[in-house]
Amino acid sequence: MADRVILHLDLDAFYCAVEEQRDPRLRGRPVAVGGRPESRGVVASCSYAARRFGIRSAMPMSRALRLCSHLRVVPPDHEAYRRASRRVMDLLHEFTPLVEQLSIDEAFLDLSDTALPGEVAARRIQRRINGEPALPCSIGVASNKLVAKIANNVGKASVRTGRPPNSIKVVPQGREALFLAPLPVKELWGVGPGTADKLARLGIRTIGQLARYPEEGLIRRFGKNGRDLVLRARGLDDRPVVTEHETKSVSQETTFSRDAGDREALRGTLRALCRKVGERLRKKSLKGATVKIKLRWPDFTTFTRQSTLREPTDSEDVVFQAAMELLEKSWTDGQRVRLLGVGVSHFDALPARQLHFRDVVQGRDDEREKGFPWRGE
């Protein structure tokens, strides 16, 4: 079998990079794209200059401003980001049809069938994106998706200039395990904080230690996932670059500008969320059998509840009735709510289709989060 050449591309601080194009005065300054602090906005993206102050994505904007009082807050312009992303993805398709778009700013490419060596291809692609649409990007190159993604993370982390890294990191064929060995186990896909803690109790803190640990012992402790962990630790991953995806769920949520505790206000919000979910279901020709709600209290405690319908539906009225019943069981009158969400999953006769960019934007978290996925407002 011919050597595989897989690239993982990530647009550096994408939203901020687009905003810097629109307003060059922002370049080199601490910038955060997101909602206003007075309306409980969060940081959607922040420049590398802002990150030097400890600012990170998903951080409340009010906290970001406390960390950097001269932070420039820019409201998001999603249409501008969609246009920029579309230009990048079109450019990637000029190199290969095997492009797996993971989100608005991230993709895998399979260049195995091209004549270009991985590093040469990466540099050509980076030059094209740096030139037009004039965006910084970082690329990891390896023989598989797992190592290419980690290589990109390592490459970006090695650049500490306060500017977009625009890095390229190549892991040669046959050097995957050696490259991974010194890295912490949390770098591996599938190793969250809980699994990392369990591995630490076994004396396993690096990927190399995990690769050397007896496979039978890991299988006893982690079941089938134990064998998967060993394979990943050894840099083995045969997943293909996938150009089509199925939608796993359709969901909608909102964070209240002020905690809501009025039943009619919650009911009205839930009705509006269900209407949007119903519209998206019908647009995608999907019918789901499971309805879920998501609630977050003022102390950020978050939980979900779900119920199964007698038959799949795309009706916003049916979804609302089920969601309202779940809300009545989960919420007591007067209890303050910070966030409310609703979603539908377990679809009947999923249609196979190309993953279009608008689906990535509208449901980018749907494919990423474990548990119940959500799309933010």
Active site residues: 106
230 within 8 A of 177, measured Cβ to Cβ = no
The pair of structure tokens assigned to 77 is 């312009």
Q: CA-CA distance, 198 to 204, in Å (whole number)? A: 9
340 within 8 A of 254, measured Cβ to Cβ = yes
Q: CA-CA distance, 333 to 337, in Å (whole number)? A: 11
Which of 204, 232, 206 is closest to 217 using CA atoms?
204
248 within 8 A of 242, measured Cβ to Cβ = no
Task: Give CA angle at 302 (299, 304), nearest 5°.
Answer: 155
Cα separation values, 294 from 35, 274, 306, 315, 324, Å: 21, 13, 9, 19, 12
The pair of structure tokens assigned to 298 is 């003022």
Torsion angle of C-alpha atoms 110, 84, 364, 184, degrees rounded to 10? 60
Q: CA-CA distance, 141 to 169, in Å (whole number)? A: 6
The pair of structure tokens assigned to 330 is 């989960």
Q: CA-CA distance, 180 to 158, in Å (whole number)? A: 15
Cα separation values, 348 from 22, 134, 175, 285, Å: 44, 43, 44, 10
